[in-house]
Chains A and B, each alone.
Chain A
Amino acid sequence: MAITLEQMRHTAKLARLELSDAQLAELMHAINALMGHFERLQSLPLEAVEPTAHSIPVFDAMREDGVGATLTREVALANAPEARDGLFIVPRIVEE
């Protein structure tokens, strides 16, 4: 079940990665080499087997609702590539 260049292009778009066709082709070669290894899974008798998401049981963690320590706005913005007036600045999202 090899991945095609067209599927690679679509997947890169889903993953928000801007890759050239040359990069995609190189990646495709590596991924298909690995996918050959994944094929073994298809032959396992798995029909009635429950999937495992976590190796130990994980439960919802409940706690009392309460006010705790939080980051100040200044600290929260300290790593921002661009910030102004206490806000993260991003390229325009809604077109005029």
Chain B
Amino acid sequence: MQELLTLSLAEVHRKLQAREVSAIELTEAILTHISAVEPQVQAFITPTPELAREMARRAQARLDAGERSPLLGVPIALKDNLCTAGVRTTCASRILHNFVPPYDATVVARLREAGAIFVGKVNMDEFAMGSSTEFSAFHITRNPWDLTRAPGGSSGGSAAAVAAHMAYAALGSDTGGSIRQPAAFCGVVGLKPTYGRVSRYGLVAYASSLDQIGPLTKTVEDCALMLNAIAGKDPHDATSVDLPAPDYRAALVDDIKGIRLGIPQEFFEQGVQPEVAETVHQAIGLLESVGAQVQEVSLPMAEQSLAIYYILAPAECSSNLARYDGVRYGLRVGAERGHIGMMEATRAEGFGKEVIQRIIIGTYALSSGYYDAFYLKAQQGRTLLRQQFATVFQQVDALVCPTTPTPAFPLGALVDDPLAMKLADVLTIPVNLAGLPGLSVPCGFVNGLPVGLQIIGKPFDEATVLRIGYTWEQLACLRDELRLPTGLAI
């Protein structure tokens, strides 16, 4: 594979600045590479080669004028639940198969202003509900490390595109692990920022109290550069927080002496494969050897997280997805059957099985007579979990644990088991419920498949999380191994 393609975002930025390559040449190289690799990986729903060429011309003009933005001229992929003005945004659903947004999501607008080049919209589980990208209404995506395995989900297209070097970075969204879990499965870095750190305006809503947009990248440095571009208050999203966003690149100090790391014991149980736990323990040992202070901590409520999540997220989804009714956009079926008949037929035909399942669970949990038993209890359980995290964060600066219980599972293995697929998110969901920042960084391999180290921080302390990730990355020296995913015939 061409050396240029396997560079990190920060490295390719330096090449663009040094005039060793132009944005136009870089974009052509990436588009050629996509043509070669995409038939194997199938990461894209809507590739946008012509848009990319046009953006590359404009980026090069800005580079020629002396602009130095870190993302200027860099090819990037976008999860297909982020609205892109003039480019189809499907959420991997039949119900939005023809939806062309009239506006950009705030994160998309910010990347556009920064001069990034959009190579396309990438695959996902329908409406971000799933953990393998197999619930896409259009096609599956394959893991670049082993094409018979799932890339994870729901941001599986984002993770696979970055791992296979079809983009230097991608944006995904994370409601219960949808950035971190595919990042772990595909051997890339993935960050779910603190709830409120990044504007959700223009992100097609799944569960609004849990959703957060974040980057998937090849290195922690790239992750910091992407977060710099997208973080900050947005008047269009009332839940985006008006706190100063520090320069996350500047926070990347290769030193964690005195940093207090907590090992939450519950995150090494719950079906965690012994080899995965061992790989993560080795990583923690290395971090300790360079000065981190490690202590065991306990978060008993973490074991209730899956039950809490699978009430709250479907409840919010049943409300959010009520808007797909065949009236103003998207699919319309059965118009001859009156307006109720049309809505019922449109939704039954437009949504896939997993989405329908969650709408039904959510509607049931919110319906008269069941609200107190399910929804209220789940919200109260969420309070206890938050309180336990807050207590633990009085003792430590960050938590370290596996991102997922296992490495990437085979395609088709869990798709028909309602609970097993959801257990893939058991270690990431507590972080969303508490609104905390969580980072997954590659930490080794089990049977040739990447394993992720999850670093969980205090609210709005992405800087510490990234600093620990960066220090680990320098210690681990996995970069060369991660450059060439073993499943690709190139």
Interface residues of A (CB under 8 A from B): 1, 3, 7-8, 11-12, 14-19, 27, 30-31, 33-34, 37-42, 44, 46, 49-56, 58-61, 63, 71, 75-76, 78-82, 88, 90-93
Task: Judge whether A53 and B356 touch: CB under 8 Å.
Answer: no
B316-330 residues at the A interface, CB under 8 angstroms:
318, 322, 325-330
Say yes or no: A1 contacts B239, CB within 8 Å.
no
With A15-B363, A38-B307, A82-B335 in contact, is A33–B419 under 8 Å at CB? yes
B338 within 8 A of A: yes
CA of A80 to CA of B379, assembled, Å = 37
Q: How far is the CA of A73 from the CA of B164 in the complex (A)?
A: 42
- Contact assessment for B307 and A37 in the assembled complex, using a CB-CB cutoff below 8 Å: yes
Closest to B416 in A: A30
Contacts of A34 in B (CB 8 A): 310, 361, 418-419, 422
- Whether a CB of chain A sits under 8 angstroms from the CB of B285 is no
Whether B332 and A81, one on each chain, are in contact in the complex, defined by CB atoms closer than 8 angstroms, is yes
CB of A42 within 8 A of CB of B373, answer yes
If A81-B330, A91-B337 are given as contacts, then 12 extra A-B residue pairs at C-beta distance below 8 Å, sorted by A number, are A15-B347, A17-B347, A17-B359, A33-B418, A34-B419, A40-B307, A41-B311, A54-B209, A79-B99, A79-B330, A80-B327, A81-B326
Considering the complex of A and B, which 10 residue pairs feature the smallest CB-CB distances, nearest first? A55-B435, A51-B379, A81-B332, A79-B329, A18-B344, A61-B238, A46-B380, A49-B380, A30-B418, A52-B382
Q: Knowing A51-B376, A56-B241 are in contact, say whether A40-B304 is a contact too (CB < 8 A).
A: yes
- Residue-by-residue, is B84-112 near A (CB-CB < 8 Å gives 1, otherwise 0)? 00000000000000111011000000000
- Asked if residues B419 and A27 are in contact (CB atoms below 8 Å), the reply is no
Which residues on A sit within 8 Å (CB–CB) of B339?
A: 90-93
Interface centre among A16, A50, A71 (most CB of B within 10 A): A16
Query: Does B411 have its Cβ within 8 Å of any Cβ on chain A?
Result: no
> B308: CB under 8 A from chain A?
yes
Known A-B contacts A15-B360, A54-B435; A44 and B381 likewise in contact (beta carbons under 8 Å): yes
A81 and B209 CA atoms in complex are apart in Å by 30
Q: Answer whether residue B195 sits at the interface, using C-beta atoms and an 8 A cutoff.
A: yes
Assess whether A19 is in contact with B384, with CB atoms less than 8 Å apart.
no
Nearest opposing residue in chain B for A40, CB measure? B307
Question: What's the nearest-Cβ distance from chain A to residue B287, in Å?
Answer: 27
Tell me, in angstroms, the Cα distance from A59 to B329 when the chains sit together: 31
For chain B residues 162-218, which have a beta carbon within 8 Å of chain A?
194-196, 209
Measured between beta carbons, the chain A residues less than 8 angstroms from B373 are 1, 42
Which residue numbers of B lie inside 8 Å of A, CB to CB? 98-100, 102-103, 194-196, 209, 235, 238-239, 241, 304, 306-308, 310-311, 318, 322, 325-332, 335-345, 347-348, 351, 353, 356-357, 359-361, 363-364, 367, 373-374, 376-384, 386, 418-419, 422, 433-436, 459
CA distance A54 to B207 in the complex (A): 11
Q: Chain A residues with Cβ under 8 A from B241's Cβ? A: 56
- What are 26 of the A-B contact pairs (CB < 8 Å)? A12-B360, A15-B318, A16-B343, A16-B344, A17-B348, A17-B360, A31-B361, A33-B418, A34-B422, A37-B419, A39-B307, A41-B307, A44-B304, A52-B383, A53-B209, A53-B379, A54-B239, A55-B386, A71-B103, A76-B102, A78-B102, A79-B328, A79-B330, A90-B327, A90-B335, A91-B337
Which residue on B lies nearest to A48, using beta carbons? B380
A52 and B380 CA atoms in complex are apart in Å by: 6
Smallest CB gap from A55: residue in B: B435
Tell me the bound Cα distance from A41 to B307 in angstroms.
Answer: 7
Complex CA–CA separation, A40 to B332 (angstroms): 40
Contact indicator A55/B434 (Cβ below 8 Å): yes
B356 A55 Cβ-Cβ under 8 A: no
Partner of B209, one of A8, A55, A75: A55
Query: CA A34 – CA B337 in complex, angstroms?
Result: 34
Q: List the B side residues contacting A59 at CB < 8 Å.
A: 238
Measured between C-beta atoms, what is the minimum distance from A52 to chain B in Å?
4
Q: How far is the CB of A20 from the nearest CB of chain B, in Å?
A: 9
Contacts of A78 in B (CB 8 A): 100, 102
Q: How far is the CB of A68 from the nearest CB of chain B, in Å?
A: 10
Q: Quick check: B359 and A15 within 8 Å, CB to CB?
A: yes
Chain A neighbourhood of B235, CB < 8 A? 61, 63
The residue of chain B having its C-beta at the shortest distance from the C-beta of A95 within the complex is: B338
Interface centre among B239, B306, B360 (most CB of A within 10 A): B360
Residues on A with C-beta less than 8 A from B359 are 15, 17
Specify the chain A residue showing the minimal Cβ separation from B236. A61
CA A62 to CA B330, docked complex, whole Å: 32
A58 touches B344 (CB 8 A): no
Closest B residue by C-beta to A32 = B418
Q: Which residue of B lies closest to A69 (CB)?
A: B103
Contact B386 A27, beta carbon cutoff 8 Å: no
CB atoms of A52 and B386 under 8 A apart = yes
